[in-house]
Amino acid sequence: MRFSPSIVALAILVTSAVASPISRSDFVIHEKRHSVPRLWTRGEKLDSSVVIPVRIALTQSNLESGYQFLEDVSHPSSKNYGKHWTPKEVIDKFKPSRETVTAVRTWLEEEGISRSRIRLSPGRNWLEFNATVGEAERLLRAEYHVYEHDQSGQPHVACTEYSVPAHVRRHIDFVTPTLHFDAKIKPRDANRLPRRGVVPAVKPGTGHDIGLTDGWKPKLGQDVNVQSLKPNLTACATATTLDCLRALYKFKGFRDGHKLAKGNSYGIVEYTPQAYVPSDLDEFMTKFRPGAVGVRPILDSIDGGVVQQESKSFGLNGESDLDLEYAIGLVYPQPVTLYQVGDLVEGASFNNFLDGIDGTYCGGDDPTQDGVYPDPYNVTGAYEGPEDCGTFAPTKVISTSYGYNEADLTPAYEMRQCNEYMKLGMMGVTVLYSSGDYGVAGNSGQCIDPTTGAYNNGTSGLFNPGFPATCPYVTAVGATQTKANANLAHLPAGTQPETACETVIYSGGGFSNVFPLPAYQAPAVTSWFKNNNVPYGADRFNNSGTTRGFPDVAANGANYVIAIDGKFSLVFGTSASSPTFGSIITLINDKLLSAGKPTVGFINPALYAHPDVLNDVVEGGNRGCGTPGFTAVKGWDPVTGLGTPDYGKMLKMFEGLAHGGYGGGYGN
Ligand SMILES: *[C@@H]1O[C@H](CO)[C@@H](O)[C@H](O)[C@H]1NC(C)=O
Ligand SMILES: *[C@@H]1O[C@H](CO)[C@@H](O)[C@H](O)[C@H]1NC(C)=O
Ligand SMILES: *[C@@H]1O[C@H](CO)[C@@H](O)[C@H](O)[C@H]1NC(C)=O
Ligand SMILES: *[C@@H]1O[C@H](CO)[C@@H](O)[C@H](O)[C@H]1NC(C)=O
Ligand SMILES: *[C@@H]1O[C@H](CO)[C@@H](O)[C@H](O)[C@H]1NC(C)=O
């Protein structure tokens, strides 16, 4: 499954095609693919009596205004700052209009698909029906074939183009199954193969990594003897602990007996089979946060999510242990929620998680990419319960340390998901994603061959930005490291003890090939292009200055001391940076909620308007693709964003923005 240029062509075609006013019977091509994706072979035509599940994604209302709605509640100069929407208000604003539902349904009925066969999804955003291939071909002016994957033999039903009547076109987002391959390859036999892409990968040789990309993940360093760790912050350059982070970002956190604000919450997302080990949490807390020994996260199990304990390894436990040891260690006694997503057979994707916290998002998953629940595999461990749809409320802050390459997925798939992050922001939720660990390269250090569109070994080619970090509605968190000579116990004012992380990992950063430059970021990105000698051209990245840059912010991502599978080791990654940044936001939310103010919600507009509340990082780079990457400079840069948090300054800024009299908000 990899990016093929045909998909780029597809996106351009879809967005630029213009439906001219023509008669009802005139069909226009809605989506078209120019070539069969790499590694797939077109086989025979599908028999016209075969029944396929057809689903039509309806265009939502008001999406084009979504950014304004979000900015209205998150931009510091807005008089509605902090007046977050309720879930119901969000649903009502965006649901497809009655006109849209009627137009599409009428077309289907005219084509002989009777009303009784058509189901409208609960979120009113999908029309679903079963049709024979013959019916679907007539309806969509398409021809269905079986495609076979060259390596796995996996069959897939698809067409190369389809059309809809001109007058209903604007009501239809897309139709499945048609030409979306995006293909997650199902294993033929192995039943423990998690979904690729979002799964943090596993160190080679652990026996559980067959078929996985070497994804977004903390990287394992040497073991640490914690007994010999110096107690006085002089060792932070070689061993990052809770105390080091508190010193770097100037916060104390809560005393064990702290009276918590009502309504605060902090969620960490993990994908099965990744799992934390309870005894590791206790070992960590015994050493670094004794009051939290015995504390466990609140488990929100989505689609059969289990914290499996049968198999243990750095690959299976490193991400979860890291995220939870630091999140709990930094915010205790504030409880931390663990969203554990997917069963042991299929794993899951970001869409499965989003379904779990928003019922109206359900129904739009792509079965070639997302987990299908109830699990269709009839094997031990398969979750046969109903798909989770809005089962759990979103927490005020959600940190995820997993990611795809932007080029793994289609722009349509990514935009749909990105719009969901926008809605969460409108409801006052802060969504954080790690920016990736391979600098300007993608997962595993791969870059994109400019001719074939295939991923290469990372010594040349196009930069390979990560998703969802490039979605303008999330806060992407890059990585820094402590300078060798920095003494955090005695930091003279105005000194910057950190550089961009260049130990083991490089901070993911660059520019999107899919998402436009958001208004809140435009001044920062424009001045970066203007004030720096940009060392690469369009042969490396989209240098138009009109696309989203990332990351937004950074936090330390080097030498974290974690307890893992019974011992202490050092780990590296933006995987560490994201939960640390999320913890600081959670501490700030506690103060705001205690004062009767709203949570910070989508923080990007406020941070770009007040970059002085972050510590600018001006040294180091994020090499990749055979280049030194970009360089951290004064102001925003595509290595460390605006910089690392200064707790006190951020708190003061957000306190100043949040007017009192807050009456609504999500989940209060
Ligand atoms: C399509 O058929 C399947 C299998 O018979 C059934 O489970 C499903 O509910 C049907 N879908 C619709 C929209 O009727
Ligand atoms: C830090 O602690 C070590 C041993 O624990 C000691 O040798 C060193 O002098 C201390 N340094 C400072 C600056 O206090
Ligand atoms: C699932 O597998 C079991 C044991 O292999 C078998 O008895 C059962 O009939 C299967 N169920 C379905 C729905 O295929
Ligand atoms: C990566 O690919 C380049 C160009 O094809 C080749 O010259 C180089 O040896 C490869 N490097 C590795 C480590 O495989
Ligand atoms: C960069 O992105 C812009 C805006 O999407 C697009 O118009 C342009 O063609 C892209 N440039 C390159 C070199 O891909």
pLDDT in tens, 212-265: 233 456 788 888 888 777 777 888 999 999 999 999 999 999 999 999 999 999
Tell whether 198 and 264 lie within a shared domain: no
323 is catalytic: yes
What pLDDT, on a 0 to 100 scale, did the predictor assign at position 269? Answer: 96
For ligand 1, atom 10, the nearest C-alpha belongs to: 130
CATH code, domain with 348: 3.40.50.200
Tell whether 622 and 563 lie within a shared domain: yes
Tell whether 258 and 309 lie within a shared domain: yes
Number of domains composing the chain = 2
Tell whether 236 and 294 lie within a shared domain: yes
Q: Is 232 in the pocket of ligand 4 (CB under 6 A)?
A: no
Q: Is 454 in the pocket of ligand 4 (CB under 6 A)?
A: no
CA separation for the pair 373, 275 (Å, rounded): 20
The candidate with the shortest Cα–Cα distance to 559, out of 244, 200, 216, 202, is 244
Host domain of residue 50: 5-208
Confidence tier at 362 by pLDDT (50, 70, 90): confident
In a domain, 285, yes or no: yes
Angle at 396 between CA 658 and CA 410, to 5 degrees: 115
Contact between residue 414 and residue 421 where contact means Cβ atoms under 8 Å apart: no
CA separation for the pair 240, 217 (Å, rounded): 17
Residue with tokens 């997962």: 443
pTM: 0.85
In a domain, 533, yes or no: yes
CA separation for the pair 489, 615 (Å, rounded): 17
Angle at 595 between CA 589 and CA 600, to 5 degrees: 30
In a domain, 331, yes or no: yes
Q: Which of 142, 175, 208 is the last residue of a domain?
A: 208
In a domain, 23, yes or no: yes
Tell whether 75 and 198 lie within a shared domain: yes
Tell whether 251 and 130 lie within a shared domain: no
For ligand 2, the distance from its centroid to the CA atom of residue 242, given in whole angstroms, is: 18
What pLDDT, on a 0 to 100 scale, did the predictor assign at position 69? Answer: 98
Does the pLDDT at position 6 exceed 70?
Answer: no
Tell whether 204 and 229 lie within a shared domain: no
Which tens digits make up the pLDDT trace of 148-197? 867 666 677 889 899 999 999 999 988 888 876 543 433 323 222 333 33
What pLDDT, on a 0 to 100 scale, did the predictor assign at position 192? Answer: 29
In a domain, 590, yes or no: yes
Tell whether 389 and 507 lie within a shared domain: yes
Confidence tier at 208 by pLDDT (50, 70, 90): very low
What value does the mean pLDDT of the chain take? 86
In a domain, 665, yes or no: no
Residues near ligand 1 with C-beta < 6 Å?
53, 119, 128-130
The rounded percent of the chain whose pLDDT value lies above 70 is 87
Tell whether 158 and 273 lie within a shared domain: no
Helix (H) or strand (E) holding 498: strand 498-500
Mean pLDDT value of segment 504-511: 97
What pLDDT, on a 0 to 100 scale, did the predictor assign at position 217? Answer: 65
Ligand 2 atom with the smallest distance to the CA of 487 is 13
For ligand 4, atom 7, the nearest C-alpha belongs to: 459
Flag the least confident range among 348-352, 410-414, 611-615.
Answer: 410-414
Mean pLDDT value of segment 283-291: 97
Angle at 192 between CA 187 and CA 193, to 5 degrees: 50
For ligand 1, atom 5, the nearest C-alpha belongs to: 130
In a domain, 664, yes or no: no
Tell whether 188 and 235 lie within a shared domain: no
Tell whether 251 and 316 lie within a shared domain: yes
The candidate with the shortest Cα–Cα distance to 474, out of 560, 318, 585, 590, is 585
- SS3 label, residue 599: coil
E strands within 166-297?
A: 172-176, 219-223, 266-271
Q: Which of 208, 236, 262 is the last residue of a domain?
A: 208
Residues near ligand 2 with C-beta < 6 Å?
230-232, 234, 489
**Which pair of structure tokens corresponds to residue 665?**
């908000």
Contact between residue 464 and residue 441 where contact means Cβ atoms under 8 Å apart: yes
In a domain, 376, yes or no: yes
Confidence tier at 508 by pLDDT (50, 70, 90): very high
Choose the catalytic residue: 121, 444, 575, 577.
Answer: 575
Which tens digits make up the pLDDT trace of 407-451? 888 787 889 899 999 999 999 999 999 999 999 999 989 999 999
For ligand 5, atom 10, the nearest C-alpha belongs to: 542
Q: Which of 182, 208, 234 is the last residue of a domain?
A: 208
Which tens digits make up the pLDDT trace of 48-92? 999 998 989 899 999 999 999 999 999 999 999 999 999 989 988
Ligand number, closest to the Cα atom of 489: 2
Does the pLDDT at position 13 exceed 50?
Answer: no
Tell whether 24 and 164 lie within a shared domain: yes
